[in-house]
Structure formats: C-alpha cells, structure tokens
C-alpha cells in the first residue's frame, strides 16, 4: 500500500509555509523522498540552505523514521533546480555482450567514466525521450494499484 497521502500530509504540515512560494514538489520511491521548493527569483540558495538546515534535518529525521525513506532537499530558483543531497542507489543488472558493448562505447568515447555512469546516462536518455510514454505508464500503474486495493482480501 502506498504512503503517498501520508507523505504529502506530513511534509505539508511540517514545512514552514514561509520557506517556499507554494507547495513543494514531492516525489519518492522505496528508498528516498525528494522535496523541492520554489524560491523567489534572485534568492541566495546557499543562504536559504544554511538558514533552514537545522529545521530541514529535524523534519527529515522524523520522516525517515516514519516512512523508512531518506529525505533529499532541493530548491528551484529561476527555473533551475539545485538538489542539496540525493541518494545514489546501486542497482544490480544482468547485461548481455551487445548491451555491455553499448556501455563500453560510451566509456571509450568519454561520455561516461565507468559502467555505472554509462548506465545512468542511458536511463536519463530514455527518461528524456520517452517522458510521455513513461507518464502514461505511471498513470496506468496508479489504476492497477487502485483495482488491486478494491479487490478481494486474502483469507
């Protein structure tokens, strides 16, 4: 079962309203919660980061113990998003020779430093060029989750 409403509600109540110009953007997966707020044009990101550090860490500590996910903070100023902290989660994958050759080509060409960077580059490329399809897929998964929740409960 998703914790979406609880995560959103917690952050809405915990984050001081004067921090951001509107509700922050909140995204999460099984390991991490990203909370990104909008600051007024010309605002010093470093000054905001330092002034809010203690309160952000206190909010993160409660969220991490409540939801079992790390909290990463960021801000958007003038359309540019800066993340203060984020997780880099290792993933395990099995690739065949032809797939590894793609990664090796990216490394040999200097596009990526290593296989991890090359694979991350490929994922970002798919996300950029298939964003509409991925959005449709995510929306379909929300429907699947809703249907599962409405289904029979196991005995």
Q: Please give the domain boundaries of the chain with CATH numbers for all domains.
A: 4-83 (3.30.70), 97-150 (no CATH)
Average pLDDT for 130-146: 91
Q: What is the pLDDT of residues 48-89, one digit of tens each?
A: 999 999 999 999 999 999 999 999 999 999 999 999 988 888
Q: Which residue has the higher pLDDT, 30 or 153?
A: 30
pLDDT of 82 reads 96
pLDDT of 1 reads 41
Helix axes 115-129, 131-150, angle to 10 degrees: 90
Confidence (pTM): 0.70
Give the confidence band of 2 by pLDDT, cuts at 50, 70, 90.
low
Helix axes 4-14, 45-67, angle to 10 degrees: 140
Task: Single out the residue of 27, 4, 1, 25 nearest to residue 15, CA to CA.
Answer: 25
Average pLDDT for 140-151: 89
**Tokens, residue 101:** 């050759």
pLDDT of 86 reads 86
Q: What is the pLDDT of residues 83-126, one digit of tens each?
A: 998 888 888 889 999 999 999 999 999 999 999 999 999 999 99
Q: 16, 42 in Cβ contact below 8 A? A: no
pLDDT of 115 reads 93
pLDDT of 89 reads 86
């Amino acid at each position: 079962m998703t914790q979406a409403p609880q995560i959103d509600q917690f952050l809405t109540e915990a984050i001081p309203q004067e921090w951001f110009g509107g509700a922050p953007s909140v995204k999460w997966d099984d390991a991490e919660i990203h909370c990104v707020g909008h600051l007024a044009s010309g605002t010093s990101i470093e000054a905001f980061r330092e002034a809010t550090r203690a309160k952000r860490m206190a909010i993160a500590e409660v969220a991490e113990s409540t939801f079992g996910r790390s909290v990463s903070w960021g801000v958007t100023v003038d359309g540019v998003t800066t993340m203060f902290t984020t997780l880099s989660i290792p993933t395990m994958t099995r690739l065949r020779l032809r797939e590894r050759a793609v990664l090796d080509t990216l490394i040999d060409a200097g596009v990526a430093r290593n296989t991890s960077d090359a694979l991350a580059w490929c994922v970002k490329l798919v996300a950029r060029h298939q964003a509409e399809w991925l959005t449709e897929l995510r929306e379909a998964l929300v429907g699947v989750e809703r249907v599962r929740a409405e289904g029979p409960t196991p005995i």
